[in-house]
Structure 1
Amino acid sequence: MKLWLVFLVPLFVGIFCQDKESIWKEYKKLHGKDYNEKLDGGKQENLRKAIFFKKDAKIREHNKGNHSYRLGHNQFSDRTDKELAGLLGTTSPPSPKLHKSMTVLPKRQARLPDTLNYRNSYCLPPVKRQGSCGSCWAFTAITPLEFDRCRKKKSFSVLSEQQLIDCDTNSTNKGCSGGWYVTAWTHLQAVNGSASEFCYPYEGLKGTCRFCAECKSMVGAKVSSFGYVQSMNATAMQLALQEYGPLATAMAVVGSFYSYKEGVYDDKACDNLPVNHGVVTVGYGRFNNTIDYWVVRNTWGRSWGDEGYILIQRGVNKCSIETYPAFVVAL
């Protein structure tokens, strides 16, 4: 028996290592990863592989349990914690007093439908990708403005996040180092316009401001008004979605969020934490008649989550997402 073990143990180890190597190669191929071993003797390759398999173990362990959401690999599975932090970029409101003073309830107290979802609306562009720039705040400001402008004009125009990164020099907004969406609307209102994406394309790094309010062909939309929806009131958010369309929201991101794949996200690790990421809430619903959720749009591309979207538990201020909801009205 001992002699058989001497032969079998190396065999099983070899098969296991071969399978891991195949998984790693397939992941790199799927996401276009290429770590040139000739440049550093394989150090980068080994680092990324170690991060990937550490993440793989967490994903497998989570998915074996009884959870309302599942995790999966994506383009971030081999990223360092520092690199992942660069995907965030929303700070808390510049003035809590201002937030409180601007809090409003929607004008119409209409009957709420059981579900509402703008995800497939003509007035929402394909999910965008912010890259390694901490500009989520700019995307969070622009998407609701694009939607409301489209709803009013009956035609769609993609607007420029890059304009905010380059031109909004308010002390709160710092380009790729973070900002706040309501402050961004203040800026767009002051300069009398948001540029079209065609005239001011996204570059993912801070540059020189090139916006020209007098150039009519450059301006894609203008801000009429904006404000916060009542904080930590899910019903007010639902009413606001019905009245204004998608809402700018902020949330607290923790480790599991990066690997979200499907289901209703309800990780307790993000509860009662300060917000650090801007997202757009585009709808709500109920999963399997058991869990209420928000439909939330991210800015990490379509290969993250459910083609760029996530369902987040509704009515419990999960990840602080019901703390700072805000609306914008296009002129």
Structure 2
Amino acid sequence: MWDLDFFLIATIESLHQITIGELVFLSEQELVDCVRGDSEACHGGFVENAFEFIANKGGITSEAYYPYKGKDRSCNVKKETHGVARNIGYEKVPSNNSEKALLKAVANQPVSVYIDAGAPAYKFYSSGIFNARNCGTHLDHAATVVGYGKLHDGTKYWLVKNSWSTAWGEKGYIRMKRDIHSKKGLCGIASNASYPIA
């Protein structure tokens, strides 16, 4: 579930940079310690719980004040009261009109998504446009869509940041084929997406 924390925080840090003009590193550990998600985290429950936690609290604490420890601990109430990124809400990207709604959201800021990362072709991706035919829609992994593009031959793609280190893929990123004529998108990328709002 911790990859969800990192991608959720990445979208909030990006929004803070876009709206305030200041890049602040925010606390993943606060979410690990203080947000209790449901057992269906990969189906959106955790992200919604985390966004609601941040909204109800009025913000999220900085990484410097509530540093990452790499393990689940008790919520530190004293530390979690020092919100840096404030007044954060969230929006779900409508999943009923294919990748168009996701494109509209990504045009403004990075978006947290769930994808099916179970296919060996995804796990061992190294470069190029990913277009695995055996990629399903069993959403088992969180990632962040940070952009999109188009090659000279007209092939459209999503630029997706992964959590498996910079040794994976294209320095930690994957270019996934876009506009595949499926409502859910490749690997379900358009099925369950959300982003923070200020």
Give the alignment's TM-score, normalised by structure 1.
0.53
Counterpart residue identity of residue 23, structure 2 = F
What whole-Å deviation, never above 9, does each CA across 1:303-325 have from its counterpart, x for those lacking one?
21111111011123100001112
1:166 aligns with 2:52: no
Q: Which one of the candidate residues 189, 192, 195 is aligned to 1:321?
A: 189
1:289 aligns with 2:153: yes
Match of 1:203 in 2: 69
Counterpart residue identity of residue 233, structure 1 = S
1:184 aligns with 2:36: no
Unpaired runs of 5+ in structure 1? 1-133
Q: Secondary structure at the match of 2:129?
A: strand
Contact conserved, 2:60 with 2:80, CA < 8 A, in 1? no
1:221 aligns with 2:88: no
Contact conserved, 2:26 with 2:61, CA < 8 A, in 1? yes
Q: CA RMSD in A?
A: 2.1
Q: How does 1:109-188 map to 2 (within 5 A)?
A: 134-172=1-39, 180-188=46-54
Q: Which one of the candidate residues 259, 283, 286 is aligned to 2:124?
A: 259
Contact conserved, 1:137 with 1:179, CA < 8 A, in 2? no
Unpaired runs of 5+ in structure 2? none
User: Quick one: structure 1 residues 230 and 214, their matched pair in 2 at CA, closer, same or farther if it must change by over 3 Å?
Assistant: closer
Shift of 1:137: 1.2
Higher relative contact order by CA 8 Å / sep ≥ 6: 1 or 2? 2
Q: Secondary structure at the match of 1:203?
A: coil
Contact conserved, 1:135 with 1:179, CA < 8 A, in 2? no
Q: Secondary structure at the match of 1:155?
A: coil
Match of 1:49 in 2: none
Contact conserved, 1:229 with 1:237, CA < 8 A, in 2? yes
Which structure is larger by alpha-carbon Rg, 1 or 2? 1
User: Quick one: structure 1 residues 246 and 186, their matched pair in 2 at CA, closer, same or farther if it must change by over 3 Å?
Assistant: same
* Larger deviation, residues 154-163 vs 284-293: 284-293
Q: Secondary structure at the match of 1:285?
A: strand
Shift of 1:290: 3.5
Report the Cα distance in structure 2 between the residues aligned to 1:302 and 1:170, rounded to whole angstroms: 28
Shift of 1:213: 6.8
User: Quick one: structure 1 residues 180 and 270, their matched pair in 2 at CA, closer, same or farther if it must change by over 3 Å?
Assistant: farther
Contact conserved, 1:279 with 1:299, CA < 8 A, in 2? yes
Contact conserved, 2:38 with 2:46, CA < 8 A, in 1? no
Counterpart residue identity of residue 210, structure 1 = N
Shift of 1:233: 2.3
Report the Cα distance in structure 1 between the residues aligned to 2:12 and 2:39, rounded to whole angstroms: 20
Q: Percent identity?
A: 26
Q: Which has the higher helix share?
A: 1
Would you say how many aligned residue pairs link Structure 1 and Structure 2?
Answer: 190
Give the alignment's TM-score, normalised by structure 2.
0.87
Shift of 1:209: 1.0
Match of 1:193 in 2: 59
Shift of 1:240: 1.4
Counterpart residue identity of residue 319, structure 1 = C
Q: Which stretches of structure 1, 4 residues or longer, exceed 3 Å deviation after superposition?
A: 170-174, 211-215
